[in-house]
Structure 1
C-alpha cells in the first residue's frame, strides 16, 4: 500500500524543483553582462536542482519513510538557499544597486514560491498531510495571488501592439486581484460552524476562474511557440505559468476531495 507521506513528498519535490530550476534560469537571462556574479550564482542553483531531480529519479512510492524524510530535509535546505538568493537580488534591486530586466514583483513572486515549497516540505515532515479549513483559504490566497501576478507579467511582456491580448491579460489581473480580496474577506469573516459550505462555493468559484486563465495561458504558449505573437516572453516561461495554473487546479481537486471525505 502506498504511503501518502511518501507520495505527497515526491510529488511536491518533482513539481517545485523544476520550478526552482527555471526561476534561476529566468533570473540569469534577465541580468546584464556586468552582473556576472549573480549570473554565476543562478547557474549554481540550476545545477543544484538538476542534481535534486536526478536523485529524485531514484526514489519510488515504495521508498522508505526515513529515507524520504531525509531527502525532504535536503531539498528544504536548497529551497531555503534559493529563497535567500532571490531576496538578496530583490533587496539590491529595490535599493537601485543593480539594474536589470527582472521586474521587482517577479523576484518577489518567485521568492514567495520558494518559501511555499520550503514550508510544504517542513509540514510534510511534521506529519501534516490533510489541510485544515484555514489551510484551504490561505493556500488559495497564495495561488490566487500567483495567478494575478502571472496575468500582470504577461500583460507587461507582450508587445504593446498586441492590444487584444494585453487587454485580456489586464482583465485577468483585475479578476484575480478581486478573488484575492474576496478570499481574505472570507478568511476574516467565516463562522467556524459553517466552514464547509462556504469553502465548497469558494473552491468552485476559483476553479472556474483558474480554468479560464489556464486556457488563456495555453493559447498564449502555443502562439509564442509558433512565433505568432510579438512579445518578450520566453517559450519556457509561457509553459512555466501554464503548469502552475494546472497545479492550482490539482490542489483545488485535492481540497474538494478532503471536504467530501469530511462530509461522510
Structure 2
C-alpha cells in the first residue's frame, strides 16, 4: 500500500501538472493584448507548474511516503490557486468585464480539472487508494463531461469549411452528452446501482465511445501538425485533449482491475 501511495501520487502529479501548465499557456494566448495582468498571472502559473515538474525528478517509486505526502500538499496548494484564478477569469468573462477568446465553458472546464486534481491529492493523503463503486461512477461523470466539452471545443475551433470534421465533432458531442446523462442517472440510483454487472456494462460502454473519440483526436492532431486541416486549434491543444482521452481509458482500465479484484 505504501508503494501504491507513492506511485499513484507521482503519477497524478506528473499527468495533471503538465495539464495545468498547458491550461495557463492556452489561457494566456486567448486574452486580449491589454489584459496584461491576467496574462502575467497565467505566465506565473506556467512557472509554478514547471517547478513542480522539475521537483518530480527528485522522487521515484521508493521515495519516503512522508516526503511524498508533503509534496502532495504543496502541489495541492498550486492546484487550488490555479482553480481560483480560473474561476476569477470566468467571473470577469460572465460579467463582460473582459472580452477574450477564452470561452466561458473552457474556463469552467479547466477549473473543474484543477478542482479534480486538488481533490485527488487530498484523497491520496487521506489514504483513499482503492476506488469505491460510488467513486467509479462519479469519476466517469467527470470524464464523460470533459469528453463532451472537448467535442464542443473542437467543433467550434475548426474552420466552418471543414464540414465533415465539424459534423463528426457534433456527433461526438451528442454521444457523450447522452453517456453523461446516463452516468448522472446511474449516480442518482446509488447504492442500488453499485453492482458489479451494472458497473462492468457501464465501463464497457464508456470505453467503446472513448476509444472512438481518442482515435478521432489522434487523427485530428496528426492533420493539424501536418497543416492539412483549417482550424484555430493549436497543435499542443490537439495533443492535450488526446492525452486526456488516453487518461480516461487508463482510469477505466484501473477501475475494471479493481472490480475484478474485489469480487
TM class, shorter-chain normalised? over 0.9
* Structure 2 gap segments, 5+ residues each: none
Counterpart of 2:80 in structure 1 is 80
Q: How does 1:1-264 map to 2 (within 5 A)?
A: 3-190=3-190, 192=192, 195-263=195-263
- Tell me how far apart the structure 2 counterparts of residues 2 and 210 of structure 1 sit (CA, whole Å): 32
* Structure 1 gap segments, 5+ residues each: none
- Tell me how far apart the structure 1 counterparts of residues 189 and 110 of structure 2 sit (CA, whole Å): 30
Q: Aligned in 2, Cα 1:157/1:214: closer, same or farther, shift over 3 Å?
A: same
CA contact (8 A) 1:2 1:61 kept: no
- Tell me how far apart the structure 1 counterparts of residues 83 and 191 of structure 2 sit (CA, whole Å): 35
User: 1:189-238 CA distances to partner (integer Å, 9 max, x unpaired)?
Assistant: 25538611100000000000000000000000000000000000000000
CA contact (8 A) 1:27 1:42 kept: yes
CA contact (8 A) 2:162 2:229 kept: yes
Deviates more, 1:34-43 or 1:184-193: 184-193
User: 1:47-93 CA distances to partner (integer Å, 9 max, x unpaired)?
Assistant: 00000000011101000010000000000000000000000000000
Secondary structure at the aligned position of 1:41 is classed as helix
Secondary structure at the aligned position of 1:192 is classed as coil
Secondary structure at the aligned position of 1:173 is classed as helix
Q: Aligned in 2, Cα 1:191/1:35: closer, same or farther, shift over 3 Å?
A: closer
| Structure 1 outlier segments of 4+, above 4 Å | none
User: 1:126-174 CA distances to partner (integer Å, 9 max, x unpaired)?
Assistant: 0000011000000000000000000000000000000000000000000
TM-score calculated relative to the size of structure 1: 0.98
Secondary structure at the aligned position of 1:3 is classed as helix
CA contact (8 A) 2:48 2:78 kept: yes
Secondary structure at the aligned position of 2:143 is classed as helix
Q: CA deviation at 1:187?
A: 1.4
User: 1:9-28 CA distances to partner (integer Å, 9 max, x unpaired)?
Assistant: 00000000000000000000
- Tell me how far apart the structure 1 counterparts of residues 58 and 185 of structure 2 sit (CA, whole Å): 44
- Tell me how far apart the structure 1 counterparts of residues 195 and 16 of structure 2 sit (CA, whole Å): 30
- Tell me how far apart the structure 1 counterparts of residues 252 and 5 of structure 2 sit (CA, whole Å): 19
Q: Aligned in 2, Cα 1:201/1:50: closer, same or farther, shift over 3 Å?
A: same
**How many residues are matched?**
263
Secondary structure at the aligned position of 1:96 is classed as coil
Deviates more, 1:1-10 or 1:206-215: 1-10
